[in-house]
Amino acid sequence: MMKFLVLLFDEEKGVKNKEEGEEWFKVGKNSLLKEVKQFKEELERRIVKEDISEKQYKKIINIYDKELFETDHYKAISQACLKLAGWVFAMKLIFETNVKLAPIKAQLAEGKRQLDEGKA
106: enclosing H helix or E strand:
helix 79-119
For residue range 45-103, list pLDDT tens digits in order: 776 667 678 888 887 787 776 555 666 777 777 777 777 777 778 888 888 888 898 88
Q: Do residues 3 and 24 lie in contact, with contact meaning Cβ atoms separated by under 8 Å?
A: yes
Judge whether residue 120 has pLDDT over 70: no
Question: Nearest Cα to 92, choosing from 41, 66, 53?
Answer: 53
78 CB contacts (<8 Å, ≥6 apart)?
Answer: none
Instruction: Judge if pTM exceeds 0.95.
Output: no
Task: Please give the share of the chain, as a percent, with pLDDT higher than 90.
Answer: 7
